[in-house]
Structures are given as C-alpha cells and as structure tokens.
Amino acid sequence: MTKVLGVILAGGQATRMGGGDKGLLPLGGVPLLDRVIDRLGPQVDGLGLNANGDPDRFEGFGLPVIPDSLPDYPGPLAGVLAGLDWAAEQGADHIVTAAADTPFFPTDLVARLHRAASRASTPIALAATHEEGRMWRHPTFGLWPVALRHDLRKALQGGLRKVVLWTDAHGAASASFDDDAFFNINTPEDLVRAEDLLGDME
C-alpha cells in the first residue's frame, strides 16, 4: 500500500509580513500552523514541517522540523526536496505538500491529487483553480513521488528555481478546486480578511 507523508512548507522568509514565521501568527486565537496541521494531518500517514533556522521555535507543534538541504533559500522546490529526502528515510512513496500560510485548503486535497495523477498517468499532481477562464496552479500544494528526489536535486543544483518548469518536464497533472480554496496570508491585510472568512465558516 502507498505510504503518503504530509510536508508543511514554512521555509519562506515572509518579507511581505515584515519577516518572521507566518505559521506562528494567530488566526481566531489559534496559530496558522495548527490550522494547517488539523487539515492535512488526517489525510496522510505522518507529518513533517519544512522550516529553516532554529527548530526550537516549533517545539510545541510536535512535528519533525526538516530544513532545506540547499543554501540561500532557493524557493519552495528546496522544501519539496527536503521533504522527499525525509520521506525516503521513513519508507514513504509520496509526499503531499501544503503551505503554512494557507489555512482553508480542502480536506480532500490528498485524495483529489491522487485521482488527478492516476487519471493522467503522471507522477506529480498540482492543485489548480480557475479565474476568468484561466487556470492557476498552486505549486505549494502538490503530490510528489519520492522516486524523483534525485532528479529534483540535480535540477536545483543546476540553478532551476521555477516550480512549474520542473513539474511540466514530468507531465504534472492538475487537480481542480474551488477558486478560493487556496487563499493565503501574505500581508497584514490578508490576515484581517482571513479572520472575516473564518467568522463566516463558524
């Protein structure tokens, strides 16, 4: 049976929020990271957190902290690679990634990514939404096979930074979701809007 681990991507520098860890910001009195854990945890066989710097600041969340293996913050693909290497050590076949600043993503994310990859016979699937007739992919929400970790490492070491350039090279499938499924918090204004959205859900 396929073993899928979840990896929460929190390795960014949060420059538009003035720096720091967006996952530690409170939303409805609860850290964003706790909300992401609550959504992704039931969908996978285990969870890890990709983050850089002192791991002790995440001690209260009870997750293994997985730093990037490449220097200078080369972007979300470095977090994917770190997650794949960690998953390989755990004997997993795939990881599903989710961003630490996106608290309302679907509770059937993993199942739908799996279906999209299976239907298209591709090793990778990315979440996507549609707006004004155009598809927008959300590459921090994806299904990634551990078998491609060495290929990804080689690409990153060669200077690749844009996620979709690598995923398209492997024929990535897209799983379609509602337009607002991946609302993420980049600015203080986004955090205010998230509070409003949370109030509408409760």
| pLDDT tens column, 117-140 | 999 999 999 999 987 778 899 999
Instruction: Please report which confidence band the pLDDT of residue 16 belongs to, taking 50, 70 and 90 as the band edges.
Output: very low
Name the residue among 75, 85, 79, 112 with its Cα closest to residue 97.
79
d(CA 48, CA 42): 13
Instruction: Please report which confidence band the pLDDT of residue 12 belongs to, taking 50, 70 and 90 as the band edges.
Output: low
pLDDT at 202: 65
For the segment 69-97, the average pLDDT, to the nearest whole number, is: 93
Q: 61 pLDDT exceeds 80?
A: yes
Q: 66 pLDDT exceeds 90?
A: yes
Radius of gyration of the chain (CA): 16
Instruction: Please report which confidence band the pLDDT of residue 17 belongs to, taking 50, 70 and 90 as the band edges.
Output: very low
Please write the tens of the pLDDT for every residue from 18-49. Answer: 456 889 999 999 999 999 999 999 999 999 99
Q: List strands edge to edge, sheet with 47-50.
A: 65-66, 47-50, 4-9, 94-99, 134-145, 125-131, 173-176
Higher-pLDDT residue of 70, 99:
99
Domain extents for the chain? Answer: 4-201
Token pair of 180, please?
């607002």
pLDDT at 18: 44
Instruction: Please report which confidence band the pLDDT of residue 15 belongs to, taking 50, 70 and 90 as the band edges.
Output: very low
d(CA 105, CA 95): 16
The predicted model scores a pTM of 0.93
Question: What is 4-201's CATH topology?
Answer: Spore Coat Polysaccharide Biosynthesis Protein SpsA; Chain A (3.90.550)
Give DSSP secondary structure letters for 114-172.
Answer: HHHHHHHT-S-EEEEEEETTEEEEEEEEEEEEGGGHHHHHHHHHTT---HHHHHHHTT-
Q: 13 pLDDT exceeds 60?
A: no
